[in-house]
Amino acid sequence: MFGLEISKVTKAFGAHLAVDDVSLSIPQGEFVCFLGPSGCGKTTLMRMIAGLESPGEGSIALNGRDITRQPANVRKFGMVFQSLALFPHLSVGENVAFSLRLQGQDARQRKARVDELLTLVRLPGMEKRAVSQLSGGQRQRVAIARALAQEPPVFLLDEPFSALDAKLREEMQIELRLLQKRLQITTILVTHDQREAMSMADSIAVMGDGKIQQYGSPLSIYRAPANTFVANFIGLSNLLPVEVLDHETVRFGANILKVAPMSQPATASLATLSIRPEDIQLTAANGAGDNTVSGRITFIRDMGSSVEVHLDCDGRDVLSVVQPRDWMGAGTGDIAHLRLPRNQCRVLAA
């Protein structure tokens, strides 16, 4: 297969399993994000792919060739890590050309490549600048140019934009994505920022507890989270305790609800129903039809572009996010009716 194949990779530190039996296929040219909370094993998995850490078990192959025991300097993957700073005493150009010099390229070759790379990261003509004279965003662009200098087969980035302010971070995300598409380079980015992962990746590997909890396109993960961990981690979700009656029917309090058909029959009669706040339709009138529950409004927050409404439904807090034009204009304490479209109601594994 062309691309990166990670098979049953495990890494323990003492008794702690940092990465637990992870398998993943990343096709050539794809942009994948490892997304998960602090300590879930993202960096350790990335370091094993880079060759900076060796797996306790399992294997890693690139384009069909086993590279599990190959050292990092032979893999030559491009890396931008938060801690991998630029050389402060070298100029921008010298930083970018660093690996080319080690490779033995002559001055003319190096200059041509540096010019090309600095144009690519939108810093043309900056090669003489001292690194200390650059802004945070410019430094990250130099780090990206330096990592791409040797045309690496795989590009690895670990929280590369976490030190930048929100606006610059978004600009850099767009720039990196456009650059990656242009170069068609297989790229893995580690982040705990779900917005970053959603906006950049072809595929997201959601990690929790050293395991891949779900792997798929951003939209498929958002629309159909595999379990409560993923539903909680990606976006906002209402998670309601339900009793399973059959593969498409549940009971929530006194309400019988139809849900998206479960692919596997629930093993327990108690389960969790997940529905996104923006999928709930709020109405003032009763008799709104099937799959409706009623609730008392406990809190309303008008954000301008949307209205967030919290309701008490059968003792549970349920959040509904409504577009201003659809907002019925009720007040705290009012009873409202929530229609839960059945295909948006998913019963999750715990």
6 binds ligand ATP per the rule CB under 6 A: no
9 binds ligand ATP per the rule CB under 6 A: no
42 binds ligand ATP per the rule CB under 6 A: yes
**What's the closest the beta carbon of residue 333 comes to ligand ATP, in angstroms?**
42
One-character DSSP codes across 164-224:
S-HHHHHHHHHHHHHHHHHHT-EEEEEES-HHHHHHH-SEEEEEETTEEEEEE-HHHHHHS
Where do we find the tokens 């529905």?
275
40 binds ligand ATP per the rule CB under 6 A: yes
**What's the closest the beta carbon of residue 263 comes to ligand ATP, in angstroms?**
29
**What's the closest the beta carbon of residue 345 comes to ligand ATP, in angstroms?**
31
**What's the closest the beta carbon of residue 231 comes to ligand ATP, in angstroms?**
19
48 binds ligand ATP per the rule CB under 6 A: no
Span 133-192, contacts to ligand ATP by CB under 6 A: 192
Amino acid letter for position 209: D
**What's the closest the beta carbon of residue 172 comes to ligand ATP, in angstroms?**
19
**Nearest Cα to Cα of residue 155 among 184, 114, 178:** 184
**What's the closest the beta carbon of residue 158 comes to ligand ATP, in angstroms?**
8
Nearer to ligand ATP, 30 or 53 (CB): 53
CA geometry: angle at 319 spanning 289 and 317, to 5°? 100
272 binds ligand ATP per the rule CB under 6 A: no
Which of 43, 173, 203, 344 is close enough to bind ligand ATP by CB under 6 A? 43
305 binds ligand ATP per the rule CB under 6 A: no
**What's the closest the beta carbon of residue 221 comes to ligand ATP, in angstroms?**
18
Span 18-37, contacts to ligand ATP by CB under 6 A: 18, 36
**What's the closest the beta carbon of residue 146 comes to ligand ATP, in angstroms?**
22
**Nearest Cα to Cα of residue 120 among 181, 58, 196, 209:** 181
CA-to-CA separations, 61 to 28, 49, 162, 245, in angstroms, rounded? 12, 9, 29, 45
39 binds ligand ATP per the rule CB under 6 A: yes
Nearer to ligand ATP, 97 or 221 (CB): 221
b/e map 60-82, b = 16+ CB within 10 Å: bbbeeeebbeeeeeebbbbbbbe
83 binds ligand ATP per the rule CB under 6 A: no
Q: Return the range that interacts with ligand ATP (CB under 6 A); candidates 41-49, 119-127, 268-276, 319-327.
A: 41-49
Q: What gap in Å lies between CA 346 and CA 342, rounded to an integer? A: 8
Q: How many CB atoms neighbour CB 285 within 10 A?
A: 8
Which of 9, 24, 32, 44 is close enough to bind ligand ATP by CB under 6 A? 44
**Nearest Cα to Cα of residue 148 among 199, 196, 99:** 99
Q: What gap in Å lies between CA 41 and CA 48, rounded to an integer? A: 11
CA-to-CA separations, 84 to 11, 79, 87, in angstroms, rounded? 22, 8, 9
Kindly list the residues in this chain that would bind ligand ATP in the complex (CB under 6 A). 13, 16, 18, 36, 38-44, 192
